[in-house]
């Protein structure tokens, strides 16, 4: 092996011969990993300044390196510079090109660092950056849900438990239930970033660097809050990646639950919602079909992201400290989550924003299945009847309705009295859809005024999340 070849591999100094083809094939990074090039260059710029502070580079050499790295980044982003098959990973690729373009100083940059802290730093920077692009995309979906909710504060529909009609609710309340769970996913990303804003640079291979002794300055230049407390943990830990993948998979689960309901709502059995033609597909054999493919594809991809999380946790569970090559699997999971959500979120947002709600059909179905029965039991309880008795009386009334093939709204005063003398005709004033919805007026309830307040609070909270994403400066170097 020539000296040049060992430099290009970054690790060949003590070897008499080159690696086998099988080893090279296994060791070579997945092509997707090279997307980290801009983040690796950001870390290299911060590291170059650290080498100036350590006295290994002068100002002129620093300028030469920074100019060369700026051009490398521009060429890479323009697509005119690509890694070769001989480039084992993004670090090898960029050092090779840097040494070619700045031969006098390119080789100096490796002092005081390792691929271990570089790899950890690259993915942290990437994920912190992508969190800021995911949040606005997620919140576009949130806005779509809120926009639909504003239109349907007084649209009454049936709420379900066990997929059985349960109680009347405002359709806006149902939409906002999905929005609230997605809001928490964004909140998890914000909280995740607080723990992830620690720089691994300066940890080198595992013990820290004898050259780069001010990692807090590099951390600041890269937009971190501080360096990692422990150099071994800095290169060995991937819980921040697993946590990111968890948040992504939890979001995917919530999107899947929303998708499942859209699939139900658009079915001929429900007829609650019709999708815009631009966000639905047809059948190759059945001309009448209009399929909610976006919802189905999203539901399917949730399983993939759950698998990403399980696979990453399985990889991490038995690794000894500090760095091991197993950790390269972290990027497979993280990139898949980022790429999948980037596809799913705009499609889901468009589908929700453009869907048309069949208000009249919802209201027609809302009382079916005796969804107003709880109103009868509550009416009795408010008049001093123990709820256990009220429950039994209402159950008997439902049985009587079933026997006569009628709904609660059709009950006569005589039938009420025949079930139980405490069922006075005044109860019928309570057994209406609007009265039932309005009665749930406690905080978090489905009453229109509470739903309107919920919309206002959620919209303001979403804007705070968007402001957090916009405020990120990222690497300053």
- Residue-by-residue DSSP string for 50-98: HHHHHTSS-HHHHHHHHHHHHHHHHHHHHTS----TT--SHHHHHHHHH
Please state whether beta strands 156-161 and 198-199 pair in parallel, antiparallel, or not at all (unpaired): unpaired
Residue 261's closest CA among 135, 157, 360? Answer: 157
> What residues are labeled active site?
162, 283
How many residues are given for the chain? Answer: 477
Is 266 in contact with 337 (CB distance < 8 Å)?
no
Cα-based angle 367, 369, 370 (whole degrees, multiple of 5): 65
Does domain 3-111 sit in CATH 1.10.275.10? yes
The contacts of residue 236 (CB under 8 Å, 6+ apart) are: 206, 319, 321, 322, 323, 327
Distance from chain centroid for Cα 279? 22
pLDDT of residue 15: 75
Domain range 373-431, CATH class: mainly alpha
Q: In this model, does residue 4 exceed pLDDT 60?
A: no
Comparing CA positions, the residue from 326, 324, 333, 321 lying closest to residue 245 is 333
Give this prediction's pTM. 0.93
DSSP notation for 211-243 = S---HHHHHHHTT-SEE-S-HHHHHH--HHHHH
| CA contacts within 13 A on the Cβ side of 326 | 17
**Helix or strand holding residue 452 (H, E):** helix 448-470
DSSP 165: E
Identify the CA nearest to 7 among candidates 128, 108, 119: 108
User: Which letter does DSSP use for residue 166 in this model?
Assistant: E
Range of weakest confidence among 24-33, 38-47, 190-199, 369-378: 24-33
C-alpha–C-alpha distance, residues 30 and 38, integer Å: 17
How far is residue 4 CA from its own chain's centroid? 44
For the chain, the average pLDDT equals 95
Among 379, 377, 372, 437, residue whose Cα is nearest residue 408 = 372
The pLDDT assigned to 132 comes to 97
Band (pLDDT 50/70/90 cuts) for residue 1 is: very low
Each domain of the chain, given as residue ranges in start order, spans: 3-111, 116-365+455-470, 373-431
Top-tier CATH class for 116-365+455-470: mainly alpha
Selection from 116, 120, 346, 127 nearest residue 246 by Cα: 127
Tens of pLDDT, residue by residue over 148-201, are 999 999 999 999 999 999 999 999 999 999 999 999 999 999 999 999 999 999
SS3 content of the chain, % helix, strand, coil (to 5): 65, 5, 30
Q: What is the DSSP string of 167-217?
A: EEEEHHHHHHHHHHHHHHHHHHHHHHHHHH-EE-TT-TTTT--SS---HHH
Confidence of residue 276 (pLDDT cuts 50, 70, 90): very high
Please, what is the Cα angle at 47 between 42 and 48, to 5 degrees? 100
With a pLDDT cut of 90, the percent of the chain lying above it is 91
Task: Determine the Cα–Cα distance for residues 463 and 131; give it in Å rounded to an integer.
Answer: 16
For 378-426, how does the pLDDT look when each residue is reduced to its tens digit (9 = 90+)?
999 999 999 999 999 999 999 999 999 999 989 999 999 999 999 999 9
Instruction: Give Cα separations from 202 to 21, 153, 215 (angstroms).
Output: 33, 55, 5
How many CB atoms are located within 10 Å of the residue 305 CB? Answer: 25
């Amino acid at each position: 092996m020539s000296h040049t070849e060992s430099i290009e591999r970054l690790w060949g100094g003590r070897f008499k011969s080159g690696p086998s083809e099988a080893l090279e094939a296994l060791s070579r990074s997945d092509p997707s990993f090279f997307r980290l090039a801009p983040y690796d260059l950001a870390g290299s710029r911060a590291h170059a300044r650290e080498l100036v502070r350590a006295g290994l580079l002068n100002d002129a050499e620093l300028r030469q390196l920074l100019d060369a790295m700026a051009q490398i980044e521009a060429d890479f982003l323009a697509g005119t510079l690509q890694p070769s098959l001989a480039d084992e990973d993004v670090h090898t690729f960029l050092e090779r090109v840097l040494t070619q373009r700045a031969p006098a100083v390119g080789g100096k940059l490796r002092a005081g660092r390792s691929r271990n802290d570089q790899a950890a730093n690259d993915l942290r920077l990437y994920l912190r950056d992508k969190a800021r692009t995911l949040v606005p995309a997620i919140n576009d979906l949130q806005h779509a849900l809120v926009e639909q909710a504003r239109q349907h504060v007084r649209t009454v529909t049936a709420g379900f438990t066990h997929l059985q009609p349960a109680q009347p609710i405002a359709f806006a309340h149902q939409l906002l239930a999905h929005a609230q769970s997605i809001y928490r996913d964004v909140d998890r990303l914000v909280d995740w970033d607080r723990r992830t804003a620690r720089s691994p640079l300066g940890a080198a291979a595992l013990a820290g660097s004898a050259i780069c002794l001010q990692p807090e300055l590099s951390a600041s230049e890269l937009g971190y809050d501080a360096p990692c407390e422990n150099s071994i943990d800095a290169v060995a830990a991937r819980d921040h990646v697993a946590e990111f993948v968890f948040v992504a998979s939890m979001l995917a689960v919530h999107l899947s639950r929303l998708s499942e309901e859209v699939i139900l709502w658009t079915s001929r059995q429900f007829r609650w919602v019709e999708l815009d033609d631009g966000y639905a597909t047809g059948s190759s054999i059945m001309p009448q079909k209009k399929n909610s493919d976006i919802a189905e594809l999203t539901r399917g991809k949730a399983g993939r992201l759950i698998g990403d999380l399980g696979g990453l946790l399985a990889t991490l569970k038995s690794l000894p400290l500090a760095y091991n090559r197993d950790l390269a699997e972290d990027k497979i999971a993280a990139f898949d989550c980022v790429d999948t959500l980037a596809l799913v979120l705009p499609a889901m947002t468009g589908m929700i924003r453009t869907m048309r709600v069949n208000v009249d059909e919802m209201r027609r179905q809302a009382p079916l299945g005796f969804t107003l029965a709880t109103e009868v039991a509550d009416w009795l309880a408010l008049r001093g009847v123990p709820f256990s008795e009220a429950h039994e009386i209402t159950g008997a009334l439902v049985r009587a309705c079933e026997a006569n093939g009628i709904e609660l709204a059709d009950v006569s005063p005589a039938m009420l009295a025949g079930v139980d003398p405490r069922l006075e005709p005044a109860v019928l004033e309570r057994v209406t859809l609007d009265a039932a919805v309005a009665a749930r007026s406690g905080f978090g309830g489905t009453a229109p005024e509470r739903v309107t307040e919920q919309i206002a609070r959620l919209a303001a909270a979403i804007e705070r999340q968007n402001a957090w994403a916009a405020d990120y400066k990222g690497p300053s170097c």
